[in-house]
Amino acid sequence: MKRIKNWPFHLMILPSLIFLIVFNYVPMLGIVIAFQDFKPWLGVFDSKWIGLDNFRYLFARQDSVQVIWNTFIIAGLKVIFNLVVPFFFAILLNEIRKVFISRTIQTLVYLPHFLSWVILGGILTDILSTDGGLINRMLVSIFNIDPIPFLSSGNWFRFTVVLSEIWKEFGYGTIVFIAALANINPSLYEASEVDGASRWKQTLYITIPSLLPMAVVVGTLSLGNILNAGFDQIFNLYNSLVYAKGDIIDTFVYRTAILEGNFGLATAVGLFKSVVSMILIVISYRLAYKLANYRVF
């Protein structure tokens, strides 16, 4: 009786359910391409089955193994710094007593999050260029050093990618820590003032310990994104000179499938990434529950 009574609500979610099935579940049938010598003109049903040959070829190729390591390194650095920088920035922002100033700073550091990497990629390419780029001109004029190849040297490229990601996302990442700061009981600070604690002591013994559970939750949940090093960013910044240090799984799949036409290998790489990511997500949720008593379901 209750189900019949609630049929309008079930009808309301029907379009979303259909959308989910068509665009999220039906494409999963394409996973079989990872086990085929897929030819577009033959289709899924007529292409030759080759078992695990695509996966063997994947791990036999030196460049694909390097791509996996690049992804772990770049994504790992992003996870670490996108946790540490917002954590301490939220604390510093909390110490500003003028509400107008703190709100203005919050707004300014949030803005880069809403800019597309297509736009930022063009800006960074111009200002980091070794041929008249603003940053290199300043370095040459102030420190009298040779121009730095930020986007054409592998190690400098990794540094540029991680630093630009932090600049773009750290302001948005502080939101969760600012919310956690708002939940700290003010009586703790009042009691510490009565005991003669300085602002530094209050931060060290009240603010930081109160934020640590949230930091544990954010850090553990970020493990599920350890293989998402940022396709949009890398694709708009990288070039053939930095493939050895800057190529990641997503850009490798794009080049392998779209540019080279090796759809079987590209699907195998994508399936490998999906399986590893699923395992890491399960582990991260378990860790979040064990360490911070945080549960999603």
Task: Write out pLDDT tens, residues 250-263.
Answer: 888 888 887 877 88
The 10s digit of each residue's pLDDT in 2-55 is 566 777 877 888 888 999 899 888 888 888 888 888 888 788 888 888 888 888
Domain definitions of the chain by residue range: 67-292
Whole-structure pTM value: 0.83
| Token representation of residue 22 | 């068509």
pLDDT for 208: 87
DSSP string, 225-274: GTT---HHHHHHH--GGGHHHH--HHHHHHIIIIIT--HHHHHHHHHHHH
The 10s digit of each residue's pLDDT in 203-226 is 888 888 888 888 888 887 787 777
pLDDT at 287 over 80: no
CATH code matching the domain that covers 67-292, chosen among 3.40.50.920, 1.10.10.10, 2.60.120.1140, 1.10.3720.10: 1.10.3720.10
pLDDT for 161: 92
